[in-house]
Every structure is written in structure tokens, then in C-alpha cells.
Structure 1
């Protein structure tokens, strides 16, 4: 079997696909990762064949348009985003076809939905398309609300199912772009052409959710084509990733386990102010801290004897050694903290991050999420203090998550689909 894996987004969207590509290759299959060019070195470091495409919306993060500006409701930011998105999306679609048309013998397309091209490229090649997701974004259910909206858990089932109508927004925004792309491929217009849950013959497409069933049990009202495999972890996320940054091991050994604070790819509108709030909260809680500055979400000039600052750290190595994980609620960081068995404090910005914050709270491994717009030193310090009582539940969840074999389940599913 040869699988073409198409993904778009941040590292959290790409890393599970690198893990899947490796697992496929270790099982004797062929796999090529198609992702933004910035991740080429990352893929090649893991000996995963790679083909680069445009960054698409990720380019906005590099050109002075922080996610926080849009999330906080700035009209100018939203209008600018709307104007630029179709052109960026068109470039991604065309790049995907350029890559796919040059790859001989593809048996299955695996895509993350937001890359957009997956179902259409698969239809042109005459192979199945499989939707692979780190969160339950497409398949409606009454069990929980659509993660794309900041909705509380516990709503009535019909309300939860209705919330998934939010996924139609992308089809509306990019409908004409996709129509032009299909025309360029010589594909006809068809009903549901923007719906990745539908095959060209009208049947249901296969959907693999790379989520732990311990964290999010499979809803009973999902179709048989939708599954929850378990997380797709890349345990050695970088060459030499078993090594902590210089000085961090010594910092960890010098005292009690610190709190980790990091907001990943989220930069917000005032990282310096956010850092001041975080440091004051840590001081009030009486804890030491490791600050992961990521893409600039926290100020990197704040190191002291009780605060260690690093741009990137290997989560599988660090998280088991911290007392709690304070993070933005990205699917990947949430998964890493759950697997490490550490209590969490989720401080969401946008998108699915509030969903994961509420989910962790329902599981008893985190206090209620503290949204970035309402982040204060007193509130964050209180949340950190509350994690002490959550350690037993977090450790139990970690044991159950680590016992799963999500990648093996996914590989078996893809092998069956491509036969």
C-alpha cells in the first residue's frame, strides 16, 4: 500500500501525520507526507519522504496578523483575513495536485480536512480518501458540541448535533475556489462536493480520529465509518529529543517539580503582558516554572533562578517531571499532558481549545478552563493550586492512555481500506 498523507496547519497538525507515516513504513507500506514546506526538515529528520506545499493560512501568522487579533474580534483583522484566505487556499490546492500527480502508485489519500484537496485529488486518482483528525470536527453527534465553537458540554443532544452546521462555513467561504479546482482537474460538479464525509458515489467516507477513547469515548450515534483510534504519538519528536535543552535537567534536579507554562503556536496580542501575568501567578503559587516560549506566546527574557525559559522542549521527556501543565488547549499538547499523567490548566485562545479545556475538566484532571481574555495572576494562581488535588485522576488517565496502540489501529484500518 502507498499512502499520500496531506496535512495543513501548525506543528500539532503535522506531527501526528509524521508519526503515521513512520508507522506505515515500519509496517512495510509506503507513505509520503505532504505538508507546508516549513516542516520539510522535521519530516526528513524522521526519514519520512516529504513533499512541500504552500503554508496557506499559516502565512498569516508570519506577517503581523496574530491569531489573537482575530479572536478578539477586530473587524479590520477579520476583513483582511477574509480577503486573503481564498488566494492562500487556492495555492494549497494546486500544490497538492502537483505533488499527487507526480507520485506513482498511490492507493489511498489520508488528509486532515483543512488542507481541502484530499477528496478531490483522491477522486481524480480513483482511490479512496480517508479523513484523519486530531479532534472530532466533522462527524455530527449528540454527545458533545462542535469543537469549533466555544460551547459548554452538557447541552441537549439535538443542540449538539445542530452545532455541527458550523462546518458548512468553510464550504461556503471556499466553495467557488473548490469548484474552480475541480474544473481544473476535469472533475464534474457533484452534490456534496465540499463535504469530506462523502465519497464520490454518495457513500460515507472513512474517518479516523487520532484521539484517545479514554479522553473522548466514541459516540454511539456515529456511523460505522467513523472510529476513535487512540493518539498518534511521535515519541522521538526530534533527533536527540530524549535530551532536554542545556541546563534544564539541572534546573529540574535543583528543587521540587516545576509548573510548565507554554502556549504553543498562539502569540496573542501582548506576549509581554501575558508573561507578566504568568510569572506573578507562579510566584503567588509558590512554584518554580519552565516557560516554553514557542512561537512567541511568552517573553523569552524572563529567566531567573526559579524560572527556566526555553523555546522548545520535548514534551514526552519534560511533562512527567513537572507538577502541572499550563497550556493553550491545543489537541497535541493536551494529548501529551494526558499521556504524561499530569494535571492541567487550560488557557484557551480560539477554535477547539475551549473544547479540550472543558473536556479535561470533565475528566477531573483540570480545573475549569481560564480563557486568555480573562487571564489574571490571581485566577491563574488559584487554578495552579487546584491541580494538587487532581494528581491521582491525572495519573490514572495517563496509565490508560499510554496502554493504547493508536497508530497500530490506524495502520490496520488503512490497509483494509486500500485493498
Structure 2
């Protein structure tokens, strides 16, 4: 069986597909992936011997450039057209396509599968992409919801309207060129009736009824067997457990100030710090030997050796930290991150920081909570309940439903 995995987004959109790809291959499938052309994605896929078919612009450069919201329809049109070009070639000979990532990219990929007569599955990595009366939708840039509207059902209707306004013309132009009929509900077309929800049911419980019935597989992870860099191992072995700080793919403004604030707060608690540079390029002007800056490392191992994890609240980082049993301080920056911060707080495994930019006082207070022994005990108890077989379950489901 030949499977094409398609995504466009940040590391959080690519990494889960890496786990699925490896599990599919172990079950005898042939797998390739369409993803942004960023070098770190190329290297990650090369590490697991999964062919990459590059599509679109660099996700990192797009994030850093922060284009204005008014350019979203134009960028979506370009991305959809690129999906039709690239995926049409990449999907030749494939039996099934798995689509995720930004909505217009997924819409383009699924349209190609429809044109080629290939079975397709739509996947999301957090439930805020799925309509439900139990939560409100995320707003598109430049299209905020009226503050007086609080009914989630109405907000979801507005969300569908925004998707159609932003992406409908571009999608239907490409579909018409491919001989496909128009789509009048872009979001509904992408999700269908039974999208896959690749999240952990403890960390991200789905509450019916909602008018849509997702297939929740558990989060897709691959056990990371990469050794930690030698300098990091030496640092970890030289003293008590440090506090980890990292903001993943988020290009935080005033990054140097954020790094300094975090390290100062950690030092005030008598702890050492490990700081991941990430896409924000976190750094300090003046360094001391109680702080180590790292690039890409094995989070699964590192978080298990951390006293606490301070992060931005991406779905993958939140799940990895929860699985590790390390208490968390989540400093959400945008999108779904406030949701994950709220889930961490609700489960009692950490603190949801109020606002995207921590101060010395706010971070010190959060660290006081998560560095307490009872916080570690609670985090360890919840970690034992998190599923570890999500990618395997999804791979079997995909192959068994032929």
C-alpha cells in the first residue's frame, strides 16, 4: 500500500506525521510526505528515511516575516495552486492521502485526491479546529468575532463564513481548472463527517454531542532515540535538575528580553536553566555557567530530566511535557496555545501564564507553584494515564480500512 502524507505548517504539523510515517512503514506501507521545504524538516525526515516532497514557501521564513492579514487570501491562492501542482505528481500511484495543516493547504490536497480518485483522510492535531458547542473557534487574522456574540454555535457559523470568504474563490478556481465542481463550504469539505483527531483523550477530551464525530486516535509520537548532545549531558550531570525554557516555532518579539527574564526568574529559585533557541533565536548577551543554550534536541529525554518545563503551549510540546511527568508553565503566544495552557492548568500539571510576555514577577510566581513537590507528584500521576500508541493505532486504522 502506498500512502501520501500532506501538510503545510510548523514543526507541530510535521512531527506527528513523522510518527505516523514510521509506523505505517513498519506495517509494510510505502510512505512519502509533502511538507514545507525548511531544512530542519528535510533533516528530520531524512533521519527516519521518509522521502520529502517540498511544497510551498519556507514555513519558518513565512512565520518570521509576519505578512499582514490582508494578504491571506492571496497567499492562500498561491498555496492552493501549489498543492494542485505538487501533490498531483506526488500522489501518482498512491492508494490513500492523509491531509492536515493549514486549511487552504488541506483543501487543495483533498481536492487532488478527489480528482485522482484516491481515498483521503482529514486530520487535526487539536480539537479547536472542529465545530462544537462546547468551545469557540479560533479567529482568522484580520477577521475578529464581534465581542457581543458569545454563542459558540453562532461563532462557528461565522468561522465557516470567514473560511469561505478567505479561501473559497481560490479553491474553486483551482478546482474548476482541474474539472472539479465548486465547494460551497470550505471547512465542511475539509473536515467531512469523521475527521481524525490525533490528540490524547486525557489531555484533550472530546465532548459530544457536537454534530461532528471525530475519530480520536491518541497523539502521534515516535519514540525519540537520539542521544542528547555531549555538552548537554555534561551540564545535566553537573548539578540538580534544571528548568527548561523554549518557545518552539514561535517568533517572539524582544526574544533576548524574554530569555533574560526567564533565566533571572529561574536563578531566583536557585535553579539552573536549559534554554532552546528555537525560531525566536533566544539568547543572552552575558552568559554564566548556570545556563546552557541548545538547538534541536530530544525533548522526550530532556523533559524527563527537567525540574519543570516553560514553553509556549504548542500541541506537541504540551503533550510531550505531559507524558514526561514534568510540571509545566505554559506562556501561550497565539492560536490554540491558550487552550493547551488551560488544559494543563485544569489537569493540575502546571500553570497557565496570563498573557504572552512573562515578567520576572509573573514567571517567578508560576515557578514557585510548579517547583513544589506536590506539583511533581500530580504531573507524574497524570503522565501515567497518557496514551503512547496513538501513531500505531492510526496506522493500523488507516491500513485496515482499505
Q: Structure 1 length normalisation: TM-score?
A: 0.85
- Structure 1 partner of 2:75: 88
Equivalent residues in 2 for 1:250-261 (5 A)?
250-261=234-245
| 1:383 lines up with 2:366 in the alignment | yes
* Structure-2 change in CA distance of 1:338 and 1:90 (3 Å): same
Equivalent residues in 2 for 1:234-313 (5 A)?
234-236=222-224, 242-299=226-283, 301-313=285-297
Aligned residues: 384
- Structure 2 partner of 1:111: 99
- Structure 1 partner of 2:385: 400
| 1:45 lines up with 2:28 in the alignment | no
Equivalent residues in 2 for 1:217-228 (5 A)?
217-222=205-210, 225-228=213-216
Task: Give the alignment partner of residue 323 of structure 1, picking from 258, 282, 307.
Answer: 307
List per-residue Cα deviations over 1:287-306 (Å, max 9, x = no partner).
Answer: 11111111125225454221
* Structure-2 change in CA distance of 1:393 and 1:142 (3 Å): farther
* Structure-2 change in CA distance of 1:285 and 1:210 (3 Å): same
CA contact (8 A) 2:256 2:284 kept: no
List per-residue Cα deviations over 1:247-290 (Å, max 9, x = no partner).
Answer: 11111112111110111111222111112211221122221111
The 3-state SS of whatever aligns with 1:37 is: coil
List per-residue Cα deviations over 1:127-166 (Å, max 9, x = no partner).
Answer: 23211111113322233443569xxxxxxxx934444346
The Cα shift of 1:213 comes to 0.8
| 1:159 lines up with 2:151 in the alignment | yes
- Structure 1 partner of 2:318: 334
- Structure 1 partner of 2:32: 32
The Cα shift of 1:15 comes to 0.7
The Cα shift of 1:244 comes to 1.5
* Structure-2 change in CA distance of 1:223 and 1:268 (3 Å): same
> Counterparts of 1:284 and 1:408 in 2: how far apart (Å)?
43
- Structure 2 partner of 1:120: 111
Equivalent residues in 2 for 1:48-197 (5 A)?
48-55=50-57, 58-63=60-65, 65=66, 80-83=68-71, 85-102=72-89, 103-114=91-102, 115-116=105-106, 117-146=108-137, 159-165=151-157, 167-168=159-160, 169-197=162-190
CA contact (8 A) 1:265 1:297 kept: no
| 1:208 lines up with 2:191 in the alignment | no
| 1:369 lines up with 2:362 in the alignment | no
Structure 2 regions of 5+ residues with no counterpart? 141-149
CA contact (8 A) 2:37 2:57 kept: yes
The Cα shift of 1:87 comes to 3.6
- Structure 2 partner of 1:154: none
- Structure 1 partner of 2:145: none
The 3-state SS of whatever aligns with 1:269 is: coil
The Cα shift of 1:234 comes to 2.3
The Cα shift of 1:81 comes to 3.8
> Counterparts of 2:64 and 2:101 in 1: how far apart (Å)?
22
> Counterparts of 1:32 and 1:325 in 2: how far apart (Å)?
33
The Cα shift of 1:30 comes to 2.0
List per-residue Cα deviations over 1:204-250 (Å, max 9, x = no partner).
Answer: 2x3111111111123222467412211111222xxxx5322231111
> Counterparts of 1:314 and 1:261 in 2: how far apart (Å)?
14
* Structure-2 change in CA distance of 1:194 and 1:296 (3 Å): closer
Greater Cα offset, 348-357 or 44-53: 44-53
The 3-state SS of whatever aligns with 2:250 is: coil
> Counterparts of 1:198 and 1:334 in 2: how far apart (Å)?
24
